[in-house]
Structure 1
Amino acid sequence: MNIDLEDELAAGMREHTADLKPSADLLDRAARRNRRRTAAMASGTGVFALAAVVAVAMTALGGTPAAPPVEPGAPPAPELLTVAMVQERAVAALAADDVQHIVSTVDYRGKTEHGEWWFDQVTGDSRITRLQAPGGAVTMDLWQLVRDDKLTMTQVFHDDRSYLVLERPLDGQRPPGPAGSTPDELRAALQRGEGYTLVGPEDLAGRAVLHLRFDFADGSDELWVDAETYRAVRRETVKHTPDGDARNRLEFEWQPRDDGSLKPLAVKVPDGYTQRQVPPVDGPM
């Protein structure tokens, strides 16, 4: 996003708030300047950024801009996005039965925990891996597999080379997936009454995304979605507590459901590990 374009759009919004009509050639000048500066960009990212910026500006202005004159050879006019459109498309993108791969980082009380999750939306199977650091040594693996209305949990402790197996009936219930990241939870967040606000378009590690934000009494919830597919790319929640902020960041990857993406969900206890004995309990689990 170039600074001159931001300045011109901001000027238009200031005129509107002063009950003055924005300059008639505001958007025309901004569009022509952006096209000149991004003509060499074959990817079209600049055109998308202009569309999103104009959408945010006109939402603040409370109106819909008149289409500027089309120059010969100019690309098609960009679509004007609203927060409702982004939310609707992000919800629709959650309908696919992809396998989720999630990298998580949790900061609380001066401590940082790293994890990696896989979740199969079809079966409800999941795997949670605890890491010393991103890409570092694995300290714990937990598989949760659903078969014949029964949940089997296999937890592997790599520090002392042991593992534990627990089973319990599901009684028709579906086990929960990774907190805050399953399609159901993302869908519920996008459809809640208050809704997100559209912060605007951003570049996230070279990827064009749309940034949504929701502020509540004791924290915030931010979501970044891909600018083309509207799939969730990142979610970050912050909760204010007496002991400081608890921050949870989730980075999403959506993989087609095939043998390769399902492979991490197959339980694998390393050779030489000792099974821990589970003490008996009274009554049903």
Structure 2
Amino acid sequence: MTSSLYVDQTSPVHRLNPVTKLVALLCLIVIVFAIPHWSASALAVLLVIVPVAVISRCGGRLAKYSAALLLPILIVLVLVQGLTFPGGQTPVWQWSFMTVTAEGLLFALTIGARITALVLASILLVLTTHPGDLMSALTQRGMSPKFSYIISSTLQLIPSFQDRANAILLAQQARGLALPRNPLRRAGALLPLLGPLVLGMFTDVDERSTAMEARGFGSTARRTLLIPVPDSAPQRVARWVMPVLAAAAIVVPIVGGLL
């Protein structure tokens, strides 16, 4: 069974060519990591990601998935960098031997803002892009079907892993597995499930490899797409403009002495 986080909608974002969205994601990541200030990432989230999420009507799911991924990372980042940042001179909070510095919090804010922009943009791409359309669009642009499949399959990795884990858990509960409410004991009860989960993923990889060989993925002949993915002239122009902006975000801070 093929799993995906894709949300089937008819919004303008969903109708964009998948290659355009993929290029936009890569360029956005380059920009927020190239500009050495947290405000660049914040502006990218507020001016780009949030409006796109509203237009695509995927804001609720984006908030749900991103919160589950980002909250643990950001909490650990603030604690670790706030307490252990080398060269921190301005204490903000101190208790016993622990001291949180302003420099550490600023560094954590910068890295956290970048990670937030990266995760939000990536999840939004997954929510608004069907994996099959992405693979077809990449193949249509001349990319090898093998590489197209690798990129497309990454969009299905997390939901596929989650579905398999849920199936194994339900099977074990049907055999009498009891899950205690205590979080530590619950984690201990779930550890034996990792074996069949990992082995099942290896089996799935082998089955997919066999299916790819049967469909001639190794062939060098030019393929004819059954359903071509629509593309437009403005999108083709945008795919050239966005890398130029990303390159400018790298060059300008260097020339301006900001790095």
The TM-score, its normalising length taken from structure 1, stands at 0.22
Decide which structure has the larger Cα Rg and report it. Answer: 1
Q: Which has the higher strand share?
A: 1
Q: Which has the higher helix share?
A: 2
